[in-house]
A and B are shown apart, each in its own frame.
Chain A
């Protein structure tokens, strides 16, 4: 086998590993992103009733102040009249807590916290953490099985890309005019039916261009997995510098990996472009 063939063979093998990480990341992060997106848009406010009660009391207080009526607090024997300044302070306090209670949406907060942390730190750092930290706090390394490096990288890539996707989805859903939702509602559709039959396709149409961007970035980002020694294509190219398959000191295989990325991204762009054109049947 010539040197060229040996290198090509090794690079092909590396690229298969790259593709594997790419495909698994996409398959995992596209649906997980939707879940995170629903999480961050979730309006569940367990303390909402407390907030609404305070808001109603505040409004009542303000109204009676405007009408010049007397304001009392407490009930029965404990009732006492309030001066205007004191009543205004009370109204302000009620308004503050009303906002706090109605604004407390734990699911949304949690989702947005996760997105903030994941998007706010480098993927490289996240890969180190997911691969090394469990072994440090447990008495054995959970990633020590044969595909452990791939599994660790895949989990982190899925979570990382899901966070980016969730924000793209959110933008896509919020970009669909409110009138679409309302039209579905007055036709007696359920929330789920409106999402599946009305919003979803319009959202997909909107998110294809930004998603194409992310997907192309993902193709290249898979190379980060080599820092936990996942043997993808750049790892395979670099190996010929250090020594691999009886060859060492060879630098061109590393540069040649660029061709793999370029061709594969060409295919991805082409397919996403086709999808975009397919969705041009409506506006």
Chain B
């Protein structure tokens, strides 16, 4: 069974259709890259999966559970959205770290707030928070940021900030981790360190969806690739979508990258 199943997703912004009949599936442990020019709907698709936008039609299922169906009002209740969001993690292009918290606090804030809803929270508050902090430190260590745990975002480089953001998303244990152009705000030198982290996540079989303009990287780490244009999925498949595209539109897009 697929972890994620997206069916016939559509989204309008006023009169422009930004997503058009988007359907795809993602298997557990796979990395999916979405490529395409700016304005092709890639970011909107990720935002729909994370319930930051509401699709006009179509459905989203995770682990066989129907999370969203435009035709079924029962799945659109605002109160449930919060719980449903936890299936997904999202790493933003502009990091969006919380500036008033240290790197470690950025990672532990959401898990701590969520833990307050546990029944045994009052009696085991200390242990729970200690465990969350230990995990936060572990995640930062995995990102190569052990010595940056106490730094505030403005004291970190862009690449370090983005790695904190990845740790922050991982701390919520999402089923699917989404990246929205994670390196587009970074200069080439800092891009490498973020891509290395994502690559190692792929090697550990983290289920991921990566919206990216790094074609070589997408080809290397992805199990599946989707090429989008003007809100449509033009072509999808394995790494051959980049190395040997079938559609004329895909070829034209990739030729812009000098491949």
Contact, CB under 8 Å: A187 / B168: yes
Is the C-beta of A179 less than 8 angstroms from some C-beta in chain B?
yes
Task: Provide the bound-state CA to CA distance between A185 and B53, in Å.
Answer: 12
| A interface residue count range (under 10 / 10 to 19 / 20 to 34 / 35 or more) | 20 to 34
Residue picked from A179, A186, A193, A202, most chain B C-beta under 10 Å: A186
Is the C-beta of B82 less than 8 angstroms from some C-beta in chain A?
yes
Task: Report which of B96, B100, B114, B154 forms a contact with A183, defined as CB distance below 8 A.
Answer: B96
Contact, CB under 8 Å: B100 / A177: no
* A188-207 near B? 1/0 per residue, CB < 8 Å: 11100100011001100100
Whether A202 contacts B100 in the complex (CB less than 8 A), given A186-B85, A186-B90, comes out as yes
Contact, CB under 8 Å: A188 / B92: no
Contact, CB under 8 Å: A282 / B109: no
**Which partner residue on chain B sits nearest A200 by CB separation?**
B100
Is the C-beta of A281 less than 8 angstroms from some C-beta in chain B?
yes
Task: Provide the bound-state CA to CA distance between A198 and B101, in Å.
Answer: 9
Whether A183 contacts B99 in the complex (CB less than 8 A), given A188-B82, A188-B110, A190-B82, comes out as no
Residue picked from A183, A189, A205, most chain B C-beta under 10 Å: A183
| B interface residue count range (under 10 / 10 to 19 / 20 to 34 / 35 or more) | 20 to 34
Is the C-beta of B227 less than 8 angstroms from some C-beta in chain A?
no
**Which partner residue on chain B sits nearest A190 by CB separation?**
B82
Task: Provide the bound-state CA to CA distance between A282 and B110, in Å.
Answer: 19
Contact, CB under 8 Å: B98 / A180: yes
Is the C-beta of B61 less than 8 angstroms from some C-beta in chain A?
no
Task: Provide the bound-state CA to CA distance between A182 and B92, in Å.
Answer: 9
Contact, CB under 8 Å: A188 / B86: yes
Is the C-beta of B83 less than 8 angstroms from some C-beta in chain A?
yes
Is the C-beta of B182 less than 8 angstroms from some C-beta in chain A?
no
Contact, CB under 8 Å: A282 / B100: yes
Is the C-beta of A140 less than 8 angstroms from some C-beta in chain B?
no
Contact, CB under 8 Å: A179 / B82: no
Residue picked from B88, B99, B109, B114, most chain A C-beta under 10 Å: B99
Task: Provide the bound-state CA to CA distance between A185 and B54, in Å.
Answer: 14
Contact, CB under 8 Å: A179 / B109: no
B-side contacts of A190, CB under 8 Å: 82
Distance in angstroms from A182 CB to nearest chain B CB is 6
- Tell me the B171-226 residues at the A interface (CB within 8 Å): 172
* A261-283 near B? 1/0 per residue, CB < 8 Å: 00000000000000000000111
Contact, CB under 8 Å: B113 / A202: no
**Which partner residue on chain A sits nearest B109 by CB separation?**
A197
Whether A193 contacts B113 in the complex (CB less than 8 A), given A182-B96, A188-B83, A282-B153, comes out as yes
B-side contacts of A198, CB under 8 Å: 98
Apart from A188-B110, A282-B100, what 20 extra A-B contacts exist at CB < 8 Å?
A: A177-B96, A179-B96, A180-B96, A183-B96, A185-B51, A185-B85, A186-B85, A186-B90, A187-B109, A187-B110, A187-B168, A188-B83, A188-B114, A197-B109, A197-B113, A201-B100, A282-B99, A282-B153, A283-B153, A283-B154
